[in-house]
Structure 1
Amino acid sequence: MSFDGLFTRAIVKELNDTLKSGRISRVNQPYPAEMIMVIRAHRHNYSLLISANPSYPRIQITNTPYKNPAVPSKFAMNMRKYLEGSLLEAVSQVDNDRIVKLTFSNLDELGDQEHLVMYVEIMARHSNISLVNEKTGKIIDTIKHVGSDQNRVRLLLPGATFRMPPKQDRVNPYLPNQGYTDLIKQTDDVNELAHGLQQYYQGFGRDSAHDLANRLLKSDDLPTTYHAFLKGFDYPDPVIVKTDRGKQRFNAFPPMGVAEDQLQHFDSLSELLDAYYTSKAEADRTKELAGQVLQVIHTELKKDKRKVKKLNQQLDDARKADYYRIRGEILTTYLNKLKPGMQTIELPNFYDNNQPLKITLSPELSPSRNAQKYFTRYDKLKTSVAYVNEQLKLTNAEIDYFQNILSQIDLAAPADVQEIKLELEEQGYIRQRSHSKKRRKIKVAKPEEFKTSSGKTVLVGKNNLQNDRLSFKIANKNDTWLHVKDIPGSHVVIRDPHPSEQDILEAAQLAAYFSKGRESDHVPVDYLPVKNLHKPNGAKPGFVTFRAQSTLRVTPKLLKK
């Protein structure tokens, strides 16, 4: 089931029952298209997530932790100004549409009672959050500004008059009607009936329409079946349905014809949405926050790969240095045969059984200068080899560094992206903000913690700053350190000086999972005591050298936390 009008009705009832009369204590905007209000209701703090993310728009109570950006957005500041300290009077739905209305009461700057309304539109890429002054109808702010160049009919800008989205010519299914009886007379095909229900009724998603169509076609009492289906959204039994192909969908209650072993039940709709959306939304948020980081990395990688190509070409040229030395020596030997103004000369090559060798000359140069020209070219190529090899080594190391960061982003949480961005700022790849403004330092998060089957603690660094902190600040010298061999990956530490072979195997599987080789079946992993690690002076974050390691091959696997 999608987050359609029927599911919206169910979640609105849950939110109203839980949050009504609660007081807003904090407002945050952890991600560009999402806000969280902490509401104190019934002696409990609830985090209300309101998302206008085009891929995962929704409204729910969440238990998923989040991290605020260093500098709050203008929208967040406005929401704090108008909503913190206010009372949530009610949560309601506009008709049976995907529009949720939150009504707040507060005191304005003069101490007069003020009523504000927040409209949450859950409509894919058109999703938005708008705070409106109920008395004037003027928009205070929206999380997404929509100007006249985007929509000539409906402006969503601070100071504009708020207008509801255009209303579709469809029937509210909760109002008295006989539309379903007319539709079922026209067809006995479930897909056609489902399509007809979607076109006739307001707020029906494809899954909801298909479920009702199934029930109506197998019913002997159409009105009872129809009203029982609608009533189910007022008394939900939240489930995630697992399909045969491994996909999942969520429903307010079990759909007809689905076996119990395909269902995962939840105590509330919000818990259901947390379970369904958390991993999907986290990945999407990470990509959103990583946009600048990825752009910088891809730009630097492109430059480095061009540089490697150029350096390899220079090495190829250097390998031909003897070409110039041989010609210089032959010219020097037969210098008396050269005449001014000659463009070419054919001389015996004493390096090849005196076979004739044709040598190109510069007619404007003297014979000795022509010979010296070949020696100069030879010397230049020979002396460039050491420099080119050093540059090639540094450039390839930088490519490995960026490939490692790309691998980290694949498994990163939004907080990890902030640390990766900080790392790139410190390395000079991303320009820092003006030093005239006081910049809040991002605190490096703790490494992620897992447990082996025997209960041993295993710590994993999720980015290079965490890797350095784990390996050289947190780990004890006798702990066991692991890392995939010769490919980018996380630093992994077993917090035990004498781990068993099974502990090492499980930690190695974890190290392989948090690496670029996570899709492979046999990944080599090095392990050694932490005391054998060394970080060279001036090395980039995450880079270490080590000695006396052992190696085993494993299949990547994630451990339990």
Structure 2
Amino acid sequence: MAFDGLFTHAMAKELNDTLAGGRIMKIHQPYANEVFLVVRNNRKNYPVLLSAHPMFARAQISQIKYKNPQTAPNFAMMLRKHLEGAQLLRVEQVENDRILRFVVSGRNEVGDEDRTVLILEMMGRHSNLFLVDEASQKIIDLIKHVPADQNRVRTLMPGAKYVQPPKQDVTNPYDSLQGLANDILDNPDQNDLAKAIQQRFQGFSRDSANELAAVVQQPGDAMDHAQNWLEYFNQTEPELVDTEKGLAYVPFPWLTVTGEVTTFTTLSELLDAYYEGKSERDRVQQQASVVLRVIHNELKKNRTKIKKQQAELAAADHADEYKIKGELLTTYMHDVERGMTEVELPNYYDDNKPLKIQLSNQLSPSQNAQRYFTKYNKLKASVKYLNEQIALAQAEVDYFENLQAQVDLASPKDIEEIKQELIQEGYLRVQKKKQKPQISQPEKFYASDGTLIEVGKNNLQNERLSMKTARRSDIWMHTKDIPGSHVIIHDDDPSEQTLTEGATLAAYFSKARDSANVPVDYLPVRRLRKPNGAKPGFVIFEGQTTMTVTPTYAAVQKLRQKPSEG
């Protein structure tokens, strides 16, 4: 389902139950449209994500790691001034809309109570996060400043009075379901009923309206079904469902969403699992703009080079034609006169069939013959050189296609290491501010029997993992002839199930993530070799065994959890 008003209702309850009464200890703004509040409550810290992203706007407790910028943005500094150390009194929803209010009580410079409200509006590209003085309703600051010429409905700048978005003529379903019975009678078709529900009631996305339409058409009293269904948003059983159309999340089991199910304890854990790929990809794209530009340019340059050199190589295939023409001119030189532009001579290599040969009228017959021999020798000499250059350019293409796949699989914290690799290899200039890059670690997974499995997410991680930290008896895995991660099973004799689970990780963290029957090579680490001068992460090997697996999201998520002992 979408993060609509109904899901906001459920999330507001979860956040309020978990956070109300806690204190805001830290505030970070790692991304342009997203803020993290670290709220301490009941002796536990909760990282609360408030996102005004145009595509992924949401509020949740998020355990996904993030990296803070060296200099905090102005909005984060303003939030720290007013909110750090303050008490979060409550989290509430505005009617059944996609608006959440975080009411906070703190102290100003002179010790008086300073009550402010963080207001998160989750409205697609119009999403925004406001810090508002509760008494005056004046906007202290907001994460997106919107000039008056871009929004004539209300002023979205610091100092203006906060005004809620224009309200639609719809009913909050938690206040009244009046009219639903008439809608059911007037719209027996489920699609028509879903449209009527959306038009009449507040906070319904198309998915939610379709689900309620299906629920009320079940045997029994339709109004009771609707009331019970709404109540489920207060007692959630979160599910992530792998459907035919992709991953979908629901706050409790739905009739209209079917597939392979993964259950979660909280809505926040559910959203972490769902958005881990989607929002991470967006954050990676933002942070990897320089890296992606280098990859794009190098791929384009080397592919163009290969195309041009292959054309030259194809031309060299006709080198013998120049040799034949030179020999014919030498043999029949008495039939060639200076000043001729072409001559037709019998080709004794082809049953004396006449062959027309172009000549330069500025050269003697002997010089014309020599010109053809020179072309022949030049083309023949170029074949070896062209094959070497094509091989070098193809190696560059393979390298950057592998980097491109790593960016697709990377988390934001991995991008800096990929950038450092490009600097080391001379593709990027060294930054003026020399900072010691943080060494990121491979991701850890656990097989069903508890065996540790590590996955490298970029070339530098792959090289450290495979060539330095892994034991020689550990098992190394990688997708066969497909860009992907190095996977190490920390066991010299893993079970068949552990091998399958390791291969599943290798397939999932590769360019073939969405494919079936992905081939994966495996062998002991001691059989790996790194050629002298090879780029980071490049290894050669022999004596491997190959198995095929089909990676799934659910299988990988299961491997993230260490099996309980006893």
Normalised TM-score (structure 2): 0.82
Instruction: Report the Cα offset of residue 124 of structure 1.
Output: 2.5
Paired residue for 2:298? 300
Alignment partners' CA distance in 2, 1:382 and 1:30: 59
Is residue 237–residue 266 contact of structure 1 (8 Å, CA) maintained in 2? Answer: no
- Specify the code of the residue in structure 1 equivalent to 2:59: I
Unaligned runs of 5+ in 2: 561-566
Looking at structure 2, the residues matched to 431 and 294 of structure 1 have their Cα atoms a distance apart, in angstroms, of 15
Cα shift at 1:410: 4.2
The 5 Å alignment of 1:357-372 reads 357-372=355-370
User: Which residue, 303, 320, 323 being the options, matches 2:321?
Assistant: 323
Paired residue for 1:41? 41
Tell me if the contact between 1:444 and 1:465 (Cα under 8 Å) persists in the aligned partners.
no
1:513 and 1:8 mapped to 2: Cα distance? 32
Identity of aligned residues (%): 51
Q: Secondary structure at the match of 1:14?
A: helix
Contact 2:240–2:263 (Cα < 8 Å) also in 1: no
Cα shift at 1:16: 2.6
**Stretch of structure 1 that moved more, 402-411 or 306-315:** 402-411
1:394–1:486 Cα change, 3 Å: same
Equivalent-residue separation in structure 2 for 1:83 and 1:21 (angstroms): 14
Aligned to 1:468: 463
Aligned residue pairs, count: 554
1:24 matched residue in structure 2? 24
Q: Where in structure 2 are the equivalents of 1:153-552 lying within 5 Å?
A: 153-158=153-158, 160-175=160-175, 178-180=178-180, 192-206=192-206, 208-209=208-209, 214-215=215-216, 233=233, 235-240=234-239, 250=249, 252=251, 267-287=265-285, 289-290=287-288, 293-335=291-333, 337-349=335-347, 351-352=349-350, 355-430=353-428, 433=431, 435=432, 437-439=433-435, 441=437, 443-452=438-447, 455-499=450-494, 507-508=502-503, 510-517=505-512, 523-546=518-541, 548-552=542-546
Aligned partner letter, 1:302: K
**One-letter code of the match for 2:376?**
Y
Q: For the residues of structure 2 that align with 1:520 and 1:243, how far apart are their CA atoms?
A: 15
Amino acid at match of 1:396: Q
Amino acid across the alignment from 1:146: V
User: What SS does the aligned partner of 1:545 have?
Assistant: coil
SS at structure 2 position matched to 1:534: coil
In structure 1, distance between residues paired with 2:497 and 2:263 = 35
Q: How does 1:51-66 map to 2 (within 5 A)?
A: 51-66=51-66
Measured in 2, the distance between the counterparts of 1:313 and 1:107 equals 74
The 1-side partners of 2:408 and 2:504 are apart by: 17
* 1:553 to 1:265, Cα distance in 2 relative to 1, 3 A: closer
AA matched with 2:36: I
Q: State the Cα distance separating 1:466 from its structure 2 match.
A: 1.2
Matches of 1:199 and 1:81, distance apart in 2: 42
Counterpart AA for 1:465: L
CA pair 355-457 structure 1, distance change in 2 beyond 3 A: same
Q: CA deviation at 1:465?
A: 1.5
- Decide whether aligned partners of structure 1 residues 189 and 413 sit closer, same or farther in structure 2, where only a CA change above 3 A counts: same
Distance 1:212 1:243 in 2: 21
Give the conservation status (yes or no) of the 8 Å contact 1:408–1:462.
yes
Contact 2:240-2:270 at 8 Å conserved across structures: no
Q: Which moved more, 1:102-111 or 1:92-101?
A: 102-111
86-95 or 501-510, which moves further after superposition?
A: 501-510
In 1, Cα distance between the equivalents of 2:415 and 2:445?
21
Counterpart contact for 1:447–1:470, Cα < 8 Å = yes
The alpha carbon displacement at 1:344 in A equals: 1.8
Q: Distance in 2 between matches of 1:258 and 1:374?
A: 75
Contact 1:479–1:530 (Cα < 8 Å) also in 2: yes
Confirm or deny: 8 A CA contact 2:181 2:222 kept in the other structure. Answer: no
The worse-fitting range, judged by mean Cα deviation, of 358-367 and 412-421 is 412-421
- Relative to structure 1, the CA distance from residue 54 to residue 540 in structure 2 (aligned partners, 3 Å threshold; closer, same or farther) is same
Per-residue CA deviation, residues 534-560 of structure 1 (Å, 9 max, x unaligned), is 3233322221233x4233342344563
For residue 150 of structure 2, give the secondary structure of its aligned residue in structure 1: coil
Q: RMSD between aligned alpha carbons?
A: 3.9
| Equivalence for 2:9 | 9
Q: How far apart in 2 are the matches of 1:343 and 1:49?
A: 80
How far residue 311 of structure 1 moved from its aligned partner, in angstroms, is 0.6
Partner Cα distance (1:394, 1:239) in 2: 52
Q: Secondary structure at the match of 2:417?
A: helix
Q: CA deviation at 1:529?
A: 3.7
Secondary structure at 1:476's aligned position in 2? coil
d(CA) in 2 for partners of 1:193 and 1:527?
Answer: 55
- CA–CA distance in structure 1, aligned partners of residues 38 and 257 of structure 2: 38
Deviation at 1:97, TM superposition (A): 1.8
* Aligned partners of 1:103 and 1:115 also within 8 Å: yes
d(CA) in 1 for partners of 2:137, 2:513: 54
> 1 CA distance for matches of 2:177 and 2:343?
104
For residues 300-357 of structure 1, the C-alpha deviation after alignment (integer angstroms, 9 at most, x for no partner) is 3233222211110111122222322333344345555543322123345454565544
**What is the letter of the counterpart of residue 323 of structure 1?**
E
Distance, in Å, in 2 between the alignment partners of 1:175 and 1:519 is 44
Residue 177 of structure 1 and its aligned partner are, at CA, apart by 8.5
